[in-house]
Structure 1
Amino acid sequence: MRYECAVDVDAIDAIDTHVHLEVDGCGHKSMPEEFFTASEKYFKAEERTPSIDTIAELYRGLKTAAVVFTIDARTQLGHMPNSIDHLVEGCARHNDILIPFGTVDPRTGDAAIVEARRQAEELGVRGFKFHPSVQGFDPSDRQFYPLWEALEEIGLPIVSHTGQNGMGAGLRGGAGIKLRYSNPLLLDDVAADFPGLDIIMAHPSVPWQEEANSIAVHKLNVFIDLSGWSPRYFPQSLVGMANNLLSEKLLFGTDYPLITPDKWLRNFAELPIKEEVRPKILKENAVRLLGLGTP
Structure 2
Amino acid sequence: MNLDELVAIDVHTHAEISADGHPSLPPHLLEASEKYFGAQGHRQPTIDEMAAHYRERRMAAVVFTVDAEHATGHPPIANEEVAESCARHPDVLIPFASLDPWRGGAAVRAARRLVAEHGVRGFKFHPSLQGFAPNDRMAYPLYEAIEELGVPALFHTGQTGIGAGVPGGGGIRLRYSDPMLVDDVAVDFPELRIILAHPSFPWQDEALAVATHKPHVHIDLSGWSPKYFPPQLVRYANSLLKDKVLFGSDYPVITPDRWLADFERLDIKPEVRPRILKDNAARLLGLAGPRPVKD
Give the deviation of 1:294 after TM superposition. 3.8
Paired position in structure 2 for 1:131: 126
Q: Which residue of 2 aligns with 1:36?
A: 30
Q: Post-superposition shift, 1:247?
A: 0.5
1:284 equivalenced with 2:241 (yes/no): no
The answer to which of 10-19 and 43-52 deviates more is 43-52
2:181 is paired with a residue whose SS is helix
Cα deviation, residue 48, structure 1:
4.8
- Contact preservation (8 Å) 1:88, 1:100: yes
1:77 alignment partner in structure 2: 72
Structure 2 Cα separation of the partners of residues 134 and 66 of structure 1? 23
Kept after mapping to 2: 8 A contact 1:184/1:211: yes
Paired-residue identity, %? 59
The Cα offsets for residues 71-93 of structure 1, whole Å up to 9 and x where unpaired, read as 10010000110121211111111
Residues 70 and 130 in structure 2, CA contact (< 8 A), matched pair in contact too: yes
Query: Which amino acid is the alignment partner of residue 42 of structure 1?
Result: Y
Question: Take 1:56 and 1:157, find their aligned partners in 2: how far apart are those partners?
Answer: 22
Contact in 2 for aligned 1:232/1:267 (Cα 8 Å): yes
Residue segments in structure 1 that go unaligned for 5+ positions in a row: 1-6
What SS does the aligned partner of 1:19 have? strand
Query: For 1:76-114, what per-residue CA distance to the aligned partner results, in whole angstroms no more than 9, with x for missing partners?
Result: 000110121211111111110000001110011111101
Number of positions where the alignment pairs a residue of Structure 1 with one of Structure 2: 289
After TM superposition, the score normalised by the length of structure 1 is 0.96
Matches within 5 A, 1:175-194: 175-194=170-189
Q: Following TM superposition, by how much is the alpha carbon of 1:196 offset from its aligned partner in structure 2, in angstroms?
A: 0.9
Segments of 4+ moved more than 4 angstroms: none
> Pairwise CA RMSD of aligned residues?
1.0
* Aligned partner letter, 2:157: T
Aligned-pair CA distance for 1:173: 0.4
For residue 149 of structure 1, report the CA deviation from its aligned partner.
1.0
- Alpha-carbon contact 1:254-1:261 (below 8 Å) kept: yes
* Distance (Å, rounded) in 1 between the aligned partners of 2:88 and 2:60: 14
Aligned partner of 2:271: which letter?
E
- Find the aligned partners of 2:36 and 2:208 in 1 and give their Cα distance: 26
Which amino acid letter does the alignment assign opposite residue 76 of structure 2? P
The answer to whether the 8 Å contact 1:15/1:252 transfers is: yes
Instruction: Name the counterpart of 1:174.
Output: 169
Greater Cα offset, 218-227 or 39-48:
39-48
